Each structure stands twice: as structure tokens, then as C-alpha cells.
Amino acid sequence: MAALRIITDGGTGSSGGSGPDPRRILVIGGGIAGQAVVERVRERDTHVAITLLCGEDRLPYDRVSLSRILAEGEDASVLQLRPEAWYADRGVDVRLGSRVTALDADAGTATLATGEVLTFDRAVLCTGSDAFVPPIPGTDAPGVEVFRGPEDCEAIAAAVTAADAGRAVVIGGGLLGLEAAYGIATLGCPVTVVHLMDRLMERQLDAGAAALLAPAIEGLGVDVLLETSTTSIDAGPDGRVAGLTFADGTALRAGLVVVAVGIKPQAELARASGLAVERGIVVDDRMVTSHPKVLSVGECAQHRGVCHGIVAPIHEQAAVAADTLTGAADSAYLGSIPSAKLKVMGVGLVTAGEASGEREVLVADAGVYRKLVVDAEDRVVGTVLLGDTRGAELLLEAVRSGLEAPDPLALLAAASAATAAELPDAAQICNCNGVCKGDILKAITDGDLGSTQEVVSVTRAGAGCGSCKPLVTELLAHARGGAVEEATYLCPCKKLTRADIAGHVRDGGLQSVSEIATACGAGRDCGACKPGMAYLVSEINGNQHREERHARFINDRVHANIQNDGTFSVVPRMRGGVTTPAELRRIADVADKYDIPTVKVTGGQRIDLLGVRKEDLPAVWEELDMPSGHAYAKSVRTVKTCVGTTHCRFGLGDAMGVGIELETAMEGLYTPAKVKAAVTGCPRNCAEAYVKDIGLVAVEGGWEIYVGGAAGASVRKGDLLATVDTADEAQRVALAFLQYYREHADYLERTYTYMERVGPEAVQAEVLDPEKQEEYLERYRIAKAACDPDPWKERHAPATPKQFASLDTAPALLPVGPPAGAEA
Amino acid sequence: MAFRSAWVPVGRAEDVPLLEGRSVTVGPQRIAVFRLPSGWAAIDHACPHRGGPLADGIVADRCVTCPLHNRRYDLRTGMQVGGDDRVATYEIREAADGTLELLVPAALMVGTEDLAQSAPLGSGV
């Protein structure tokens, strides 16, 4: 069968087109601008033939977020704007690695580097820009990079991780340079920003804000050198960059130099084609160049003397260009108000419009700088918010709309106290999913929503990074005219809490998620609560429920963790983080044989094989011959250990031995949310037991049990639940707590949230009371006896047809193992 | 040659458990097939957001949730729930012998000539 391929809509350059519509639009350049033009045209006209030529060998991606590749180690594919199928579905003929060498606007032809000639009725030049490299001697030496594309990020990351990188230097203290420097600092490399001007980001900031930004940037481990002009980049004996020399005669050693001083509109093709080009390709208000058949959009275009280098204008220009191309409307582009947001962790900076002007009001405090600029007619024309960006949505909207503010100080003060209620309906609340205030209010009214969780579920505001959730709650409270009833629903569609559904399960003796759905309707509308109900029904029935795979997340259907490209990660159980040479050999052999792209040591002291195809899972498990580590599930994960008394001269307890015992006792049990544990042999705490859901610490003469610790998104030292005499007692307390947590916490509620909610005394009263402790331990033993310690055995006996395969591939055949339970 | 839409066999009904999905390649496209309490549904396999595998999603009575970032699509209309994206939907039926047959639109018939068992129906989708 044919592999996925992109459909070309009819012939090119001939009259053999398949559709009745002979018009053809050629979009030259596959950046954000080219993609935006294609999208806006398709929204207006579903028939016209569109060809998108991408100079790079990749589909359009979000260049604005480039620093994420560097700072967060994201894969370049995460930034791709649309999946391959999107183009096929919309009949867009997209061609990768296609560079145009000549454009004849009169004839309507474009010649590709391959010699192929394409015809067009209208062409749109979206050639973008190149990194501007100033004429400094030495910029061509190996080790000098620009910061423009994913390849540059890879080169920078590679140079930084090279053993002898030493210091990195970023030339340029603008938005791009600071983001590059932050990314490099995140990789653990000392970095210096060298800037020609007397202040950072001089295009967006006034002197006051810039003076506060520099120490904030330095606080991230980035050195800043202002008013420093680089006269040469110097190579070492091996020809690679070794340092820089400055105009004042001083020098700085550096193993990596990143040039990020700005961009240069890419207008060569336009110039060679005889179009009017100044700094960029000159366009009118309809985005048409000096030739009526050719338009231009994005960083390469020069409109009313301005070339924009930020993303917002691109979208505004693309909409006008699409109107011009399709005749859908008679619209005009009148320019954009520049705005910028520094994407650097811990430094809040938002600017829009002018940084100084006729009248300025300013509130400045330690590390905080908030400024509003108003013109002679009292209209808001600019804002700078540093260190405290409260009210940014309100002020950006004020700049955009040119709001009249006779008392700007009052507006600035109001903004810092601005409640969600005062935001305009058009203000964007959730930047991840692009949800405006108006969308949220409408959803609340239309759906009679009563909790934040419901609003998130319906509108998807807050479903991305989650940082806007407090704002969503505020909007909800305002819309409902008071405080929000924050019941945590397990099934928001039917407004049923965990307690409601548990009542149905107990009263009706329900055994499965389907029976719950029949009883009260939960799980039938959106299905989001099905994994939570699957856990609840298994917990109440002591794991003797009827398992239904449709109620489980894909991870629990195939017992592996789904990754961003649809492949899976495999983590075999390695109790206490203790392994053997034989296991390591098998892991190495499997990684070789199945071309596993990444083998990573996890934070939980085991080994993760990433990038495994679903259909390879059974064979990978068979050859690993190790049990599942449950790294994909809401379940007990690992027990991290130090070497304890076995080897350590400070050891007070047998951390490895106790850890392996505890992991064996807990493994295979599902929990409301993941449970990480550790056993450490002395209070030096090498196994980090203080910040685990369950942590055992050997002390002189006994053991301490900590619960509710965390060192992930939240950092919290666990609560000391008890101090006991022996390791056995410590394990009993730990297991009783585990069972208590399994029975009481809301689904997805981690122990640290639970402990904050109920407090340690309530937990101690249950878990440490001898009688109750024994009851918890008894229910733990029942659940443990009925749980499946190694779901990877399903490689021999799949739970569902084609569990690991597609409809059109045969399941891998594996030798049938011993009958289930034979070894128990 | 000009392609016309046609019913094409894509797999066996018993290979798709109730309220689960399985994927299949048809011509240039991967398609997700779901068994619902009310019958069968078929949509594009790739989520328009980041290409997540929709056949691996959690299925409720009439919608599926992408396993990568929880985007939700109505299986009858292909519309994103709470958003503007959409996925293509396809007609699918179970033949008397348990074969699943998908009505493949003309645009996807590239490379499926060898699959089309029955004569093309009608003149288009």
C-alpha cells in the first residue's frame, strides 16, 4: 500500500489540472508567513489551486518558539505548524526543498533550482529574512553560529556540549540575542552577551526598564557587556573560534560565538525579478508589490517604509493578502503596532508600541517597572511592563485600540489591580489554545458551567500550560456573580464527584466502567473521566473488577508511554535502581536490534528506551525478559535508593535491601496519581527520600517515614509521618499509607496535594492507629494479590485483538509462554 | 486515470473492540476506524494539531480524545469539540462476512487500485 504522500492537485504548468478552477496561486517561502497566506486563502476559497514552495526540507514551523528547542530541549518537530495530512486534506500542493531561481512576473512563471518551470496567476513572496551578520572579520570560522533555524539550535547545542566549549558569547542584546543566551545558559554553559548599544533591547525599552532588565538577565547566569563593539572574531590554531577582540583592545576567550544582531529581509529574488526593493520588497496597502501579479507578506515585505520582524504583523498582512488574492473583501493593511514578549524563564517582560513619548506615567520599584505612554490627544500609544506584567492583556488591548486615557496613571494603577471582569472580550486569556475572554463567558452562559474544571474541559482555556487557570476561575466567579462552587467532579459532564460515583459502585455492586455508565451516565459524553472511573472501580473491588481496556488511556492499553511522535517508551522494572551486567547486556542488545533512537537513564534510577514503535513492543519485552516498570501508568513507579550500609561508610540502614523489598511489595498497584518512593540509608538523603511521595530515611536507631514530598512541578518536603524502630515497621507504615492514599485521594491528586488538603494529623490518626493500620494492610494485601505484577506478559496473550498492531498489519507472533499463573 | 470513489475493504470487524479504534492505511492516508455502541465511525488518524494518533484515543459514545494533547473530535461530524479544527470523516460499513468496508473518496484513490473490490459507486462523494 502506498505510504503517506502529499497529493498534488492537478498538473503544474500545463492545462491538465483536475479541478474546474484553473487559477493558481504560488506561495514562495514556507515560513510562518507562507503558511499564514495559505491558510487565509483556503479559508476564503476552497477551489483555487495553491502551491507552497518551502526552501527548507521541512514543513512550515513556528520559528518564534525557536528558543524552546534550545532552552527546553524540544525536538524541532514539535514546532511544526501543521501535520503533513493537513496539506493533503486541503488540496495544497506543498513542495519541500524547492528554491526558486528566477521569477518572470509578466509571463507568470517561476523557475526552480531543478530547472522545472511552474506557472502562476498570482505569486506571493514570503521569503522572510536571513540572520544579519555584521562585517566583522572572522565570522566564517567554525564555531560561529547564527540563531535562525532548528539546525542553528542543533549546532549551538552541539558546540555547548562539546567538552572544551568553555564560554559562549552572544553578539547582540536584543530579543533574539537574549533568548539565545538564555537557551545556552540553560544548557549549563557560561555565556556573555555583548551588545553594541548602551542598553539591552533598545528598540523596545527605555533606559529605565533596560537598567532593570540587565540585572534580571544576569540573575539567570548570563553576563552582560554593554557599549562593547566587537572588532574581530579570532580563531585558534585549529581554525575554530577561540575568542573575540573588542574596540577598546580587550579580548574574551570563547569556544562558541552566536551572532544575533538582527535580520535582513531576503529580497534577492524580488530584486533580480525587477520588483521595487528598498530595505525589503516594497508593497502597497493591499500587499501588492510593484508588479500587480506579485504580492509579498512577512519579514521580506516593506510596507510604508517599515519591515516588521515580529510575528503579529505577519498574520494581519496575510489576511489582507488573502482578500486581495481571492477578491473576498476590499481590505487594507495600515501597519501594525509592534509588541514583544521576552520568552525567558523568570523574567516577565511585555512591551507594545512606543517606549517613550508625549506623556509618560511610570511606577517603578525594586525589580518592577511599569510604564504607560500617551500621545498629545490622550490616546495610549505604548507600554512597558517589566518584573510585574499584571494587567498586560488590558494594556496591550489599550495600545492596540488607541484607548483614550485622560488619566493614564489611573489606568496603569487599575491595570495592576485589573480583575478579569475589566478585560475586553477580545483579550486572549489562554495563549496556548488561543481562547478569548468572550469565548469563555459565552461557554459559561451557554453551558451553565459551575466549576473551573468544566470551563477548562469545554473551552480548553487552561488545558495547555495551565498558567491562565486562576484567570479562568476569576472569570467564572465574575460570570456567576460570586465565589465559585469548586466541587471537583470526576465526571464534569454529568457533574458527579468521586464520592457520588463510588456510591453507585458500592450500592450497585458495579464491576466495570460500562456498568457505571449504564447506572449514572458518567463517561458517555466526552469519555475524559473513564480512566478515573477505571481506577475507582478497580480500587473499590480490590482489583477483582472487570477490566475494560476502552476505559484506559493508550499507555495502559499497550503498557508503554506514548511520545510526541506516536512512538512509545519502554522502562523495565529495575527494583531499587539495582541491575546486573546480564540485564544491561540485554538492554543494549535490544536497543541495537530495534534501532531504538534514545536510551536514557531516568531520574528514578532505571533505563528508558525511547522511540519504540507500537508493533515492536511485544518483541522488545520478550527480548528484554524483564517485567514492566509501570513507568507509563498512574501507579507505583520506583523506589530510588542509595547504597546504604552495603558500601557506604556513613550508612545507617540497608537502603538497597529495604528499597527492593518495598518496591516488590508495592509494584503493580494502581494509584490515584503516580507514586514515587525512595529509601535512603542516612539523613544525607542521597536518594532524595524527603521529596518523594513515600520516603524512608534510616536514622541512628530507627527509620523515619516521610509522605507527600515532591520535587517536580511543585517542590515540597514531605511530612514526617512517623519514626519507628525497625525497617519492617517502616514498611508497614509505608504500605498502610499507600492503601490509605489509594482509598481517599481524588483521581490525579498527588500525595503532596492531598497532604496539603487534609493535613498530616488526619493521616496519622488513620495510618498509625494499630487497629486501623491492620485494616489498611489487609485491604492492601487483597488488592496486591489480585493485581497484575507484569502486564508485559500480554505479549503472549493479547488482551484485545490487534492490541499492538494496525488493522492492516499482522500482530507479531511470539512463542506462547507458560500458562498465566504457572510461576506464581 | 481518473479515480472515482469506491468501497474498499480495510480489515475485519472482530479486530476492533467496542469503544476502541484501530488505524489502517488507505492510499496516501491513514484512517482511524472506531466501533461505537451505535455502529462504526471512521476519521483521519492524524490529529490536525500535532499529528497525534487518534485511533489510540479514548472513545466515548460519539467522540474521541487525542492521546497527545486531549483535543476532542466528534466522530460523526469530524468537528473539534470546543475548537475550530476538523478531521475528515468517512463512510464505513460492515459486510455480512465481517469485512469492514470504507467508502474511499476519489481524492484518496491514488494507490488503492488494487484494493477496490467492488465497482465504483456513483460519480463522486
Asked if residues A117 and A13 have their Cβ atoms less than 8 Å apart, the reply is yes
pLDDT: is A165 or A262 the higher one?
A262
Tell me how close the Cα of B39 comes to any Cα of chain A, in angstroms.
15
Residues of B in contact with A802 (CB under 8 A): 15-16, 22
Of A763, A783, A782, residue with least CA distance to A773: A763
CA dist B32 and A792 (Å) reads 25
Confidence of residue A175 (pLDDT cuts 50, 70, 90): confident
Fold classification of A491-552 (topology level): Arc Repressor Mutant, subunit A (1.10.10)
pLDDT: is A341 or A56 the higher one?
A56
Check A1 against B112: CB less than 8 A apart: yes
Check B12 against A807: CB less than 8 A apart: yes
pLDDT of residue A732 exceeding 70, the answer is yes
Tell me the torsion sign for CA atoms A463, A466, A470, A471. Answer: negative
Q: Please identify among residues 775-804 of chain A the ones whose CB lies closer than 8 Å to any CB of chain B.
A: 800-802
Mean pLDDT of A556-585: 96
Q: Does A246 touch chain B (CB under 8 A)?
A: no
Indicate the helix (H) or strand (E) that contains A742: helix A727-744
Asked if residues A372 and A358 have their Cβ atoms less than 8 Å apart, the reply is no
CA dist A756 and A707 (Å) reads 11
Q: Does B116 touch chain A (CB under 8 A)?
A: no
pLDDT tens across A760-780, in order? 999 999 999 999 999 999 999
Q: Does B44 touch chain A (CB under 8 A)?
A: yes
Confidence of residue A431 (pLDDT cuts 50, 70, 90): low
Fold classification of A556-624 (topology level): Sulfite Reductase Hemoprotein; domain 2 (3.90.480)
Residue B113 belongs to some domain of the structure: no
Q: In this predicted structure, what is the pLDDT of residue B125?
A: 30
Check B107 against A523: CB less than 8 A apart: no
Choice among A335-339, A724-728, B114-118 with the minimum mean pLDDT: B114-118
Tell me how close the Cα of A492 comes to any Cα of chain B, in angstroms.
14
Check A549 against B65: CB less than 8 A apart: no
Nearest by CB to residue A564, choosing from B11, B50, B83, is B50
Residue B21 belongs to some domain of the structure: yes
Q: In this predicted structure, what is the pLDDT of residue A485?
A: 55
- Whole-Å CA distances, A646 to A639, A643, A650, A658, A702: 17, 6, 10, 11, 17
Confidence of residue A487 (pLDDT cuts 50, 70, 90): low
In total, the C-beta contacts within 8 angstroms joining chain A to chain B are 141
**How many residues does this entry show for chain A?**
824
Q: In this predicted structure, what is the pLDDT of residue A556?
A: 95
Check A7 against B20: CB less than 8 A apart: no
Q: In this predicted structure, what is the pLDDT of residue A636?
A: 94
Check A550 against B82: CB less than 8 A apart: no
Q: Does residue A356 come out as left (phi exceeding 0), alpha (psi in the -120 to 50 range) or beta? A: beta
Per the structure, the complete domain to which residue B69 belongs is given by 6-108
Fold classification of A144-260 (topology level): FAD/NAD(P)-binding domain (3.50.50)
Nearest by CB to residue A2, choosing from B10, B55, B110, is B110
CA dist A241 and A263 (Å) reads 23
Tell me how close the Cα of A631 comes to any Cα of chain B, in angstroms.
17
Indicate the helix (H) or strand (E) that contains A507: helix A498-508
Do A428-486 and A491-552 show the same overall fold? yes
Secondary structure letter of residue B82 according to DSSP: T
Amino acid occupying residue A692: K
Confidence of residue A433 (pLDDT cuts 50, 70, 90): low
Q: β-strand A256-259 against A251-253: which pairing, if any?
A: unpaired
Check B27 against A2: CB less than 8 A apart: yes
Nearest by CB to residue A523, choosing from B26, B49, B60, is B60
> Which residues, including other chains, have CB under 8 Å from residue A764's CB and lie 6 or more apart?
A721, A722
Q: Which CATH class is domain A348-418?
A: alpha beta
CA count, 13 A, side-chain hemisphere, A363? 19
Residues of B in contact with A523 (CB under 8 A): 60
Q: Does B112 touch chain A (CB under 8 A)?
A: yes
Q: In this predicted structure, what is the pLDDT of residue A359?
A: 87
Q: In this predicted structure, what is the pLDDT of residue A89?
A: 84
pLDDT of residue A212 exceeding 60, the answer is yes
CA dist A617 and A620 (Å) reads 5
CA dist B52 and A113 (Å) reads 34
φ, ψ of residue A591 to 5 degrees: the values are -60, -40
Q: In this predicted structure, what is the pLDDT of residue A11?
A: 35
Q: In this predicted structure, what is the pLDDT of residue A15?
A: 38
CA A27 vs. chain centroid, Å, equals 30
Amino acid occupying residue A465: C
Residue B1 belongs to some domain of the structure: no
The share of chain A scoring above pLDDT 90, in percent, equals 56
Indicate the helix (H) or strand (E) that contains A765: helix A760-767
Which three cell numbers, joined as nine digits, stand for A381?
A: 500609544
pLDDT tens across A57-83, in order? 888 887 777 777 766 666 767 678 788
pLDDT of residue A718 exceeding 70, the answer is yes
CATH at residue B51: 2.102.10.10
Tell me how close the Cα of A107 comes to any Cα of chain B, in angstroms.
30
Task: Using DSSP, state whether A235 is helix, strand or coil.
Answer: strand
Could you tell me which residues are beta bridge partners of residue A386?
A: A349, A369
Asked if residues A537 and A545 have their Cβ atoms less than 8 Å apart, the reply is yes
Residues of A in contact with B60 (CB under 8 A): 523-527, 530
* Helices and strands in chain A, H and E counts: 24, 40
| Nearest residue on chain A to B3, alpha-carbon basis | A18
Which of A9, A87, A554 best tests the B interface by mutation, with the highest count of B CBs <10 A?
A554
Choice among A163-177, A704-718, B34-48 with the minimum mean pLDDT: A163-177
Assess if CATH 3.60.20.10 describes domain A24-130+265-326.
Answer: no
Nearest by CB to residue B44, choosing from A85, A459, A806, is A85
pLDDT tens across B22-58, in order? 999 988 889 999 999 989 999 999 999 889 999 999 9
Residues of B in contact with A554 (CB under 8 A): 53, 56-58, 67
pLDDT tens across A84-138, in order? 888 988 889 999 999 999 999 999 999 999 999 999 999 999 999 998 999 999 9
Q: In this predicted structure, what is the pLDDT of residue A434?
A: 62
Q: Does B33 touch chain A (CB under 8 A)?
A: yes
Angle, helices A530-540/A513-520, rounded to nearest 10 degrees:
110
Nearest by CB to residue A88, choosing from B28, B70, B112, is B28
Mean pLDDT of A600-611: 95
Q: In this predicted structure, what is the pLDDT of residue A390?
A: 81
Q: Does A528 touch chain B (CB under 8 A)?
A: yes
> Which residues, including other chains, have CB under 8 Å from residue A747's CB and lie 6 or more apart?
A490, A498, A531, A532, A535, A536, A634, A672, A673
| Nearest residue on chain A to B57, alpha-carbon basis | A554
Q: In this predicted structure, what is the pLDDT of residue A400?
A: 83
Check B20 against A549: CB less than 8 A apart: yes
Asked if residues A254 and A166 have their Cβ atoms less than 8 Å apart, the reply is yes
CA dist B33 and B89 (Å) reads 10
CA dist A48 and A128 (Å) reads 24
Which of A802, A803, A804 best tests the B interface by mutation, with the highest count of B CBs <10 A?
A802
Q: In this predicted structure, what is the pLDDT of residue A325?
A: 94
**What is the CATH number that goes with domain A428-486?**
1.10.10.1100
Q: In this predicted structure, what is the pLDDT of residue A10?
A: 36
Of A819, A773, A809, A345, residue with least CA distance to A615: A809
Q: Residue A612, exposed/middle/buried by CB under 10 A (0-12, 13-18, 19+)?
A: buried
Residues of B in contact with A460 (CB under 8 A): 71, 82-83
Choice among A32-46, A67-81, A590-604 with the minimum mean pLDDT: A67-81
Residue B116 belongs to some domain of the structure: no
Q: Does B106 touch chain A (CB under 8 A)?
A: no
Tell me how close the Cα of A458 comes to any Cα of chain B, in angstroms.
6
Mean pLDDT of A588-592: 96
Q: Please identify among residues 83-102 of chain A the ones whose CB lies closer than 8 Å to any CB of chain B.
A: 83-86, 88-89, 91
Q: What is the mean pLDDT of chain A?
A: 87
Q: Residue A685, exposed/middle/buried by CB under 10 A (0-12, 13-18, 19+)?
A: middle
Q: β-strand A636-641 against A675-680: which pairing, if any?
A: parallel
Mean pLDDT of A512-540: 92
First to last CA, chain B: 18
Confidence of residue A811 (pLDDT cuts 50, 70, 90): low
Tell me how close the Cα of A443 comes to any Cα of chain B, in angstroms.
9
Greatest mean pLDDT among A140-149, A716-725, B103-112 lies in A716-725
pLDDT tens across A607-657, in order? 999 999 999 999 999 999 999 999 999 999 999 999 999 999 999 999 999
Choice among A58-62, A330-334, A749-753, B91-95 with the minimum mean pLDDT: A58-62
pLDDT of residue A456 exceeding 90, the answer is no
Residue B33 belongs to some domain of the structure: yes
Check B17 against A463: CB less than 8 A apart: no
Check B59 against A526: CB less than 8 A apart: no
Q: In this predicted structure, what is the pLDDT of residue A159?
A: 84
Tell me how close the Cα of A247 comes to any Cα of chain B, in angstroms.
48
Check B52 against A82: CB less than 8 A apart: no
Q: In this predicted structure, what is the pLDDT of residue A63?
A: 76
pLDDT of residue A559 exceeding 60, the answer is yes
Check A525 against B18: CB less than 8 A apart: no
Q: Does A315 touch chain B (CB under 8 A)?
A: no
Confidence of residue A22 (pLDDT cuts 50, 70, 90): low
Q: Please identify among residues 64-83 of chain B the ones whose CB lies closer than 8 Å to any CB of chain A.
A: 64-65, 67-72, 81-83
Which of B16, B24, B25, B26 best tests the A interface by mutation, with the highest count of A CBs <10 A?
B25
Tell me how close the Cα of A1 comes to any Cα of chain B, in angstroms.
6
Mean pLDDT of A464-480: 75
Confidence of residue A428 (pLDDT cuts 50, 70, 90): confident
Mean pLDDT of A16-24: 54
pLDDT: is A7 or A581 the higher one?
A581
Q: In this predicted structure, what is the pLDDT of residue A812?
A: 52
Nearest by CB to residue A463, choosing from B33, B60, B70, is B70
**What is the CATH number that goes with domain A636-786?**
3.30.413.10
Q: In this predicted structure, what is the pLDDT of residue A166?
A: 84
Q: β-strand A561-562 against A568-570: which pairing, if any?
A: antiparallel
pLDDT tens across A533-551, in order? 999 999 999 999 999 999 9
Confidence of residue A3 (pLDDT cuts 50, 70, 90): very low
Asked if residues A38 and A8 have their Cβ atoms less than 8 Å apart, the reply is no
Asked if residues A801 and A759 have their Cβ atoms less than 8 Å apart, the reply is no
Angle at A351 between CA A345 and CA A356, to 5 degrees: 140
Q: Does A229 touch chain B (CB under 8 A)?
A: no
Task: Sketch the domain layout of chain A as residue ranges.
Answer: 24-130+265-326, 144-260, 348-418, 428-486, 491-552, 556-624, 636-786
Choice among A115-124, A155-164, A357-366, A505-514 with the minimum mean pLDDT: A155-164
Asked if residues A614 and A569 have their Cβ atoms less than 8 Å apart, the reply is no
- ipTM of the complex as predicted: 0.87
> Which residues, including other chains, have CB under 8 Å from residue B103's CB and lie 6 or more apart?
B5, B6, B7, B8, B90, B91, B92, B93, B121, B125
How many independent structural domains does chain B possess?
A: 1
| Nearest residue on chain A to B89, alpha-carbon basis | A89
Residues of B in contact with A6 (CB under 8 A): 28
Mean pLDDT of A238-265: 91
